Amino acid sequence: MYAHRTRSRAARFRAVNDARSVLATGVASALPAPDENHAPEGRLTYLDGWRAVAIAFVLFDHFGSSRYFNTGILGVEFFFALSGRLMAQILFVERAPLGTFYYRRFTRVWPSLAVLVAALLLWSRAHPAFGVGLPQAAVALTYTYNYAAFFGLATEPLDHLWSLCVEEHSYLFLGLLAALARDRPRALRAVLFAAIVLCVADGALSTLVFHQTYVQAYWRSDVRAASVLIGAACFLAARDGRVRLGGIWPLVALVAAILLNAKPVPDVVKYSAGTLGIALFVANLERAPAWVRTFLAHPLLVWAGLISFSLYVWQQPFSFELTRALVPRAAHAIGAVLAGVAAFYVVERGTRRWLNAHPPRWARAPET
């Protein structure tokens, strides 16, 4: 979910061990040549900036308030659309070996997640209100939290992990699709489109017919995977020229998507048409006005994007049982940011570097 591949295979695999890379995704040959928005290694820094915007929305929702929009859910949708683009790039354009792909998804997420779960497990022994016991730890570490929550295993300090479950399950599906249809683009497009339609229809039935709540319907991967898959489909469509937006139109799509995410709008519209607008913007950023990429490539936003995964993982416990007083909320927000920064530099960066430097044989990149 978090980084950009370099253009060449050799540079791409070297980038995995770079302290600044956060997953690896790259630039397809059909996309524009590097400009001032590209880091020297070839990564697209403005996509890091997009992550910064997404995590800012999440933090604003958890530590602030918004009358007309749920900015936290909108920020998650920004992440989902970007993840779809990046995974499509890795699997269908760069054609990464599936062993390498899945191993790097593991090294990207699981170490930081494991440290968070272990810390909350210990903290809950002294503070039972946090409610993290062995069952909650088990479903968190096996990416089953979003379904286990329906069986009474949810606890608020871990509730944000539903989105990680959706992403990991989407990656499993996209990997399987790559294994079966990489060399059959028509079949790939057909299966991807059918999967999106089924997920959206599942959400519509769950909410409109069975009257399920947002959590009951849109935490489930069989529904919310549509957001990741739409991101992948839009990127592939933009890359092969089927659906390309240039000039001001990517911004128009984004503004329309944000309006469709207003609180009164039905969930089935938010996570279909709204998600489509976000995904079209992300897929066509290269063709948007240059000032958009320049803004997103600002060094502060790039840095915030690089640490955004750690920020996302660690912010939730700090927002647990917040009061509405300004000082406590501000103090919790500062604590969340500091914890996320520390987690990135102490846990995420070092463990990923070491694990990617010592992969098992089945996950090793092919020799070039």
Mean pLDDT computed over 155-159: 95
Q: How confident is the model at residue 330 (pLDDT cuts 50, 70, 90)?
A: confident
| Residue 71: pLDDT over 80 | yes
Q: Mean pLDDT lowest for which of 8-22, 68-82, 89-103, 150-164?
A: 8-22
Q: Identify which has the larger pLDDT, 298 or 319.
A: 298
Arithmetic mean of pLDDT over the chain: 88
Tell me what pLDDT residue 30 has.
30
Mean pLDDT computed over 233-260: 96
Q: Identify which has the larger pLDDT, 52 or 241.
A: 52
% of the chain residues with pLDDT over 90: 80
The tens digit of pLDDT for each residue in 172-214 reads: 999 999 999 999 999 999 999 999 999 999 999 999 999 999 9
The tens digit of pLDDT for each residue in 109-132 reads: 999 999 999 999 999 999 998 999
Q: How confident is the model at residue 364 (pLDDT cuts 50, 70, 90)?
A: confident
Mean pLDDT computed over 282-292: 96
Tell me what pLDDT residue 327 has.
64
| Residue 325: pLDDT over 80 | no
| Residue 16: pLDDT over 70 | no
Tell me what pLDDT residue 7 has.
37
| Residue 242: pLDDT over 50 | yes
Tell me what pLDDT residue 66 has.
83
Tell me what pLDDT residue 326 has.
66
Whole-prediction pTM value?
A: 0.87
- Core vs surface per residue 182-218: b (16+ CB within 10 A) or e: eeeeeebbebbeebbeebbebbbebbeeeebeeeebb
| Residue 19: pLDDT over 70 | no
Nearest-angstrom CA–CA distance, 60 and 321? 16
